[in-house]
């Protein structure tokens, strides 16, 4: 079809072996001219090997690989260097050249001395290294060296750029500057192929993502197509939640498959109690710490990624359902949270401030109580002081009481009851009190026997 971009790279049944070990392929791949492709994958998935194959840094063991319609092996190294600039992952810079001299080495293939000075100056300026132009490369920090290496490649002024982990050793500010630079170069018409470890950084800047797993393509497409929770779980063995930042997706980790499998094994062996804590606004941090200190691994949700309850869950490596801040909970978060509540044997409702946007977890707790599950509600501070929903949260708390939920004064009492439940004992202790019966208070503060 007219106007369709032609592929700059084409691989067919491409395979690479290194040291007698199969590390890449078979791979069928096309990279269109003018694309901005992010290459992702776990360590050992073949990302660096793919980039090295695209520059003849490694030889293919089988299959074919072409550049701009010609077999890659037909290009002389100098001719290919005029077309493709490469930022490698590792490069020795231990020699006494200045930064400007090192960047000027990127001009070796261009044969245009009149443009050399301006190209080097522009590359230094673009990477923020002008002030360091006369400094020896051996005196640079790791991040400065990485930027110098990028500047050297930019000085080549090639239409295609291949970058292998260009964000290594860079602080967040320079990482963002580097990705913004890549975006700017792409908008000028360059073809950009960049290997990245940071999935969120790739999703925010790249137009297309290629996900490798054990040397083959696990997924390819737009960021919202590749950053699928099921795909990420399969490839990285991490469960994630996917959110949106404008038109771009971003992910937050929930749980690793290996840890989840271990916990599932413990539950099957009767060594664990499935507890879910309805959290938010820092209301559950103390409770989570107390539960963990007693050997429990509760699940948590739904909390903002900037919430101290989220930080507590991350600190203790708990499975947590997260959501973007200051927004209504997205459907995927609600679905994940409902799944955790269904799976739990016990639900604890922390003393959250409830508004119109976070009532659904409370409704989920009510459904659990009505189904016969054990639900504890921490009642202090009083719900009337925390109800910002026009009374709806207060009504739901009252319905929880009617459904048999137990109201406790705070985290310590909740954990004590969890321990009693774990031991398979009754809520009636063998000693203490005139009747030997433990007493609780309901949401109105009235004393009643434990159920």
pLDDT of residue 385: 92
Report the distance separating Cα 339 and Cα 260, nearest Å: 14
How much of the chain, in percent, has pLDDT values that exceed 90? 50
Q: 179-211 pLDDT, tens per residue? A: 998 898 899 899 999 999 999 999 999 999 999
Q: Which tokens belong to 168?
A: 């290594």
- pTM equals 0.60
Each residue's pLDDT tens digit, 393-417 = 999 999 999 999 999 999 999 999 9
Q: When comparing pLDDT for 124 and 450, which is higher?
A: 124
**Which secondary-structure segment (H or E) carries 65?**
strand 62-67
- Mean pLDDT, rounded, for 253-274: 56
Give the C-alpha separation, 17 to 23, whole Å.
Answer: 6
7-236 with 254-441: one CATH topology?
A: yes
Tell me what pLDDT residue 424 has: 58
pLDDT band per the 50, 70, 90 thresholds, residue 366: very high
The structural domains of the chain, with segments of one domain joined by +, span 7-236, 254-441
In percent, how much of the chain has pLDDT > 70? Answer: 86
Question: Over 90: is that where the pLDDT of 71 sits?
Answer: yes
d(CA 171, CA 273): 42
Q: Which CATH superfamily is domain 254-441 in?
A: NAD(P)-binding Rossmann-like Domain (3.40.50.720)
pLDDT reported for residue 431: 32
Task: Give 217's strand partners.
Answer: 212
pLDDT value of residue 263: 54
What pLDDT, on a 0 to 100 scale, did the predictor assign at position 209? 97
Contact partners, residue 397, CB within 8 Å, separation at least 6: 362, 377, 383, 443
Tens digit of each residue's pLDDT (9 = 90 or more) over 283-341: 999 999 888 878 788 999 899 888 889 988 887 778 899 888 777 888 888 999 999 99
In this prediction, residue 124 carries a pLDDT of 93
Sheet of strand 70-71, all strands in order from the earlier edge strand to the far edge: 21-32, 7-18, 62-67, 70-71
Which distant-in-sequence residues (6+ apart) come within 8 Å of 77 by Cβ? 56
pLDDT in tens, 145-188: 888 888 999 998 899 999 999 888 888 888 898 899 889 889 98
User: Tens of pLDDT along 29-47?
Assistant: 999 999 999 999 998 899 9
Check whether 3 has a pLDDT greater than 60: no
Per-residue confidence (pLDDT) for residue 270, from 0 to 100: 44
Mean pLDDT along residues 216-229: 92
Contact 347, 276 (CB under 8 A): yes
- Identify the pLDDT of residue 399: 96
For residue 436, the model assigns a pLDDT of 32
Phi and psi at 398, nearest 5°, equal -65, -40
Residue 193: which of 221, 232, 165, 214 has the closest Cα? 165
**What SS3 string covers 381-446?**
CCHHHHECCCCHHHHHHHHHHHCCCEEECCHHHHHHHHHHHHCCCCCCCCCCCCCCCCEEECCCCC
The three-class DSSP label of residue 29 is strand
| Mean confidence (pLDDT) of the chain | 84
Question: If phi over 0 gives left and psi between -120 and 50 gives alpha, with beta otherwise, what is residue 221?
Answer: left
Higher pLDDT, 7 or 93: 7
* Fold designation for 7-236: Rossmann fold (3.40.50)
Is the pLDDT confidence value at 92 over 80? no
């Amino acid at each position: 079809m007219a106007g369709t971009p032609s592929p700059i790279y084409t691989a067919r049944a491409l395979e690479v072996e290194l040291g007698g070990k199969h590390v890449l392929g078979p791979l069928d791949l096309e990279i269109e001219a003018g694309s901005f492709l992010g290459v992702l994958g776990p360590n050992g998935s073949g990302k660096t090997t793919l980039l090295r194959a695209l520059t003849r840094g490694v030889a293919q063991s089988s299959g074919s690989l072409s550049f701009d319609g010609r077999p890659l092996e037909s290009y002389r190294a100098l001719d290919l260097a005029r077309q493709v600039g490469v930022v490698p992952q590792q490069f020795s810079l231990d020699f006494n050249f200045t930064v400007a001299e090192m960047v000027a080495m990127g001009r070796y293939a261009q044969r245009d001395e009149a443009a050399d000075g301006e190209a080097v100056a522009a590359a230094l300026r673009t990477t923020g290294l002008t002030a360091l132009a006369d400094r020896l490369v051996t005196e640079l920090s790791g991040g400065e060296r990485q930027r110098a290496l990028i500047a050297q490649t930019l000085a080549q002024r090639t239409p295609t750029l291949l970058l292998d982990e260009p964000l290594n050793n860079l602080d967040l500010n320079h990482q963002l500057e580097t990705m913004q630079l890549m975006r700017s170069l792409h908008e000028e018409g360059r073809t950009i192929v960049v290997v990245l470890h940071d999935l969120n950084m790739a999703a925010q800047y790249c137009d297309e993502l290629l996900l490798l797993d054990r040397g083959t393509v696990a997924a390819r497409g737009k960021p919202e197509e590749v950053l699928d929770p099921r795909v990420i779980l399969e490839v990285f063995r991490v469960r994630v939640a996917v959110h949106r930042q404008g038109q771009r997706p971003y992910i937050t980790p929930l749980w690793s498959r290996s840890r989840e499998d271990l916990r599932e094994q413990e539950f099957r062996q009767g060594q664990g109690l499935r507890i879910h804590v309805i959290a938010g606004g820092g209301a559950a941090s103390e409770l989570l710490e107390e539960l963990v200190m007693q050997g429990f691994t509760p699940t948590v949700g739904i909390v903002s990624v900037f919430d101290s309850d989220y930080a507590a869950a991350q600190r203790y490596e708990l499975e947590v359902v997260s959501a973007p801040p200051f927004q209504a909970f997205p459907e995927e978060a609600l679905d994940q949270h409902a799944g955790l509540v269904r799976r739990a044997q016990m639900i604890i409702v922390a003393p959250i401030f409830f508004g119109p946007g976070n009532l659904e977890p409370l409704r989920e707790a009510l459904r659990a109580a009505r189904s016969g599950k054990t639900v504890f509600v921490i009642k202090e501070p009083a719900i009337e002081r925390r109800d910002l929903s026009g009374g709806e949260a207060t009504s739901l708390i009252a319905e929880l009481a009617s459904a048999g939920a137990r109201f406790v004064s705070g985290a310590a009492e909740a954990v004590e009851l969890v321990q009693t439940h774990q031991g398979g004992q009754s809520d009636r202790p063998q000693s203490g009190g005139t009747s030997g019966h433990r007493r609780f208070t309901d949401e109105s503060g009235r004393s009643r026997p434990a159920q």
